């Protein structure tokens, strides 16, 4: 039998004892777990960024993988700790939307509110449920315990969504939803929507008053300093500058607008 896989995504950084103590708790319950970091460098308390990263990583893992995610500004408050079972995976984390960009891609089967303290650490701090609640539950879940063991099913949970791009006449209004390690700008306009909108028209893309024409196929295309547009590895329209950070060069941030214009006549 293969070892169970537990992935971890947090905004805890990699300097402190936070992530390691979570891993210790899991291994203490099930030493056979294979622990894989998705990211611990989510911008502090940025639920949307965490949700985006999780949504683009989870589906590459084997069926049955347990995805544990903690970006949790409301830790210790009324927000619920939950377990979402989907067609192929288990997701553990706070009920603040963090898990839901991922889970809506994989048929949610049920959502359990974690209430059974038998599977928590004996002493539960009010500041670190990642270690005290989510990790022990991940450990027991990896041993094969059924989801219903950990609490009761709920029908209502927080759902997050990308802001949808918006068509007005011959303009498609989108925005930047993520900026990657290289400074590439990922937008909320996916390939299907882009193609449906531009059809066989000419088009150009506007960002910060600059115009980009055409779609390139890879980052290596384009001249030095030229802004190029392409569809990145997550299927979204992306703006990039060869060997440079488009973020630094254009001085943009998450939420900044991007406009696709069809060229009529």
State how far the Cα of 232 lies from the Cα of 184, in Å rounded to an integer. Answer: 9
Closest separation between CB of residue 94 and a second copy, Å?
11
Structural contact between residues 17 and 25, judged by C-beta atoms closer than 8 angstroms:
no
Contacts with a second copy by CB under 8 A: the residue count is: 67
3-state DSSP call for residue 196? Answer: helix
Binders of a second copy among residues 55 to 84 (CB under 8 A) are 56-62, 65, 73-77
Closer CB to a second copy, residue 20 or residue 110?
Answer: 20
| Cα distance between residue 67 and residue 74, in whole Å | 20
Q: Which residue stretch of 18-26, 159-167, 206-214, 248-256 sits at the interface with a second copy (rule: CB under 8 A)? A: 18-26
- By CB under 8 A, tell whether 2 contacts a second copy: yes
Nearer to a second copy, 166 or 248 (CB): 248
Residue 226 binds a second copy (CB under 8 A)? no
Site membership for a second copy, residue 88 (CB under 8 A): no
Q: Is 154 in the site for a second copy (CB under 8 A)?
A: no
Q: How crowded is the C-beta side of 43, counted as CA atoms within 13 Å?
A: 10
- 120 vs 129: CA distance, rounded Å: 9
Is the separation of the CB atoms in 137 and 103 below 8 Å?
no
Closest listed residue to residue 96, CA positions, set 137, 64, 50, 135: 50
Mark 159-198 with x for binding to a second copy (rule: CB under 8 A) and - for no binding. Answer: ---------------------xxx----------------
Determine, following the binding rule CB under 8 A, whether residue 206 of this chain makes contact with a second copy: no
């Amino acid at each position: 039998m293969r070892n169970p896989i537990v992935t971890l995504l947090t905004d805890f950084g990699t300097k402190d004892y936070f992530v390691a103590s979570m891993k210790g708790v899991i291994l203490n319950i099930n030493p056979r777990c294979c622990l894989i970091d998705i990211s611990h460098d989510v911008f502090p308390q940025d639920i949307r960024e965490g949700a985006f990263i999780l949504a683009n990583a989870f589906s590459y893992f084997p069926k049955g993988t347990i995805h544990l995610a903690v970006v949790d500004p409301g830790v210790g408050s009324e927000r619920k700790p939950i377990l979402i079972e989907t067609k192929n995976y288990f997701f553990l984390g706070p009920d603040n939307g963090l898990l839901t960009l991922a889970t809506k891609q994989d048929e949610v089967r049920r959502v359990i509110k974690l209430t059974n303290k038998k599977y928590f650490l004996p002493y539960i701090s009010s500041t670190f449920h990642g270690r005290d609640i989510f990790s022990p539950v991940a450990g027991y879940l990896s041993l094969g315990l059924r989801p219903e063991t950990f609490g009761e099913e709920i029908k209502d949970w927080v759902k997050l969504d990308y802001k949808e791009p918006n068509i007005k006449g011959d303009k498609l209004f989108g925005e930047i939803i993520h900026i990657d390690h290289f400074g590439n700008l990922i937008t909320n306009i996916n390939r299907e929507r882009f193609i449906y909108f531009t059809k066989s028209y000419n088009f150009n893309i506007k960002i910060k008053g600059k115009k980009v024409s055409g779609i390139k196929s890879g980052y290596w295309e384009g001249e030095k300093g030229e802004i190029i547009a392409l569809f990145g590895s997550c299927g979204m329209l992306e703006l990039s500058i060869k060997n440079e950070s488009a973020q630094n060069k254009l001085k943009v941030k998450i939420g900044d607008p991007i406009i696709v214009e069809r060229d009529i006549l």
